[in-house]
Chain A
């Protein structure tokens, strides 16, 4: 199997190498890919949408349908992970581990024992031994707000600089996952529960699709943002720019929530009591 795979891969490699000689050279401005559609986008984006970042304009306006369904794909990936992995019944584990906060002593409490929840002096820890590391948890706690702020900047400033809903959403999700890795899953779940992430992921898709439906209600085609000019109180071109921001926020919410949701289910094998 190994030799066969190597031969197949090498044959394909030789063919691709032979074909690559006919490809346009790197950085060629007259290559076919740059000749047909993209000059229109580059030259007309400003007058059509008044968004300087062409990538954002094409993503959320010209190719709005594509992006809507990409968002739906991400949402269904989150759902798929949930349905594959989530274990509904919560059987109590054989033993639980607690750390006494002021002394750092670790306790093991057998099944049926009295659990020191809600006393404020003990903290539950994962059964796979994790050393108590002040540096990591404090550093991450300091970093996380700034990462989140940067994510919001990336979403909000997607019109004028590289950025947008997908990138900002992934950064925001990464900040929450960083918190979950550096602390633990239960603490993260108290801050952003599974229900919240599931709800937010569908809310994000709803914001996107709802903007499109609102355009229909206002008498234009689906996702034709210029129809929203009277609601937003601006001219049709600026309405496109503002609607792109609304749509990007929807994408950002959906991507954040789905990333976190997938992490919750993957890291705890669907039990959501002890993570990485």
Chain B
């Protein structure tokens, strides 16, 4: 019983990420509405961001900002005292880029709506077939 408890504590961040990944993936595959697909893509991206941030954490470490400012050489900096800054750097840019790609995706969806008058995939398919038979 104790082993299961410690396993859950050690891995539950991955399981939460996996759950979010699957929700996003399912929404992208199964939903017919384009906006819902875009939201699924965003949930997927959020899962990846959470995954990266969670692998950067270290027990007993603080945020990656050096406590002793410039000019203080008396205190040595130990890598174990600060969490891993690299995932934060990568995800910082990824968050803003995901907002930008969300904007482009919504712009494309608007274009599709103005062309076909709907955002449902099967109805768009039908309209394309009517426009170009065969």
Contacts and interface: CB of A to CB of B under 8 A. Distances in A.
A81 B87 CA distance: 29
A45 B70 CA distance: 10
Given A29-B61, A39-B79, A265 B107 contact: yes
B91 to A, nearest CB: 10
Given A26-B12, A255-B96, A53 B59 contact: no
Contact of B70 (A50, A54, A78, A265): A50
Interface in B50-82: 54-61, 63-67, 69-70, 77-80, 82
A191 to B, nearest CB: 21
Main secondary structure of the interface of B (DSSP, over half): helix
Classify chain A: how many residues form its interface, as a range: 35 or more
Interface stretch (A59-67, A144-152, A181-189): A59-67
Contact of A70 (B78, B88, B96, B111): B96
A79 to B, nearest CB: 10
B70 A46 contact: yes
B30 A1 contact: yes
A113 interface: no
A161 interface: yes
Interface in B74-118: 77-80, 82, 84-89, 92-93, 95-97, 99-101, 103-104, 106-108, 110-111, 114
B34 interface: no
A63 B89 contact: yes
Interface stretch (A9-17, A132-140, A214-222): A9-17
A210 interface: no
Most chain A beta carbons < 10 A, residue from B15, B19, B66: B66
Contacts of A115: none
Closest 4 CB pairs between A and B? A25-B10, A5-B29, A77-B100, A39-B79
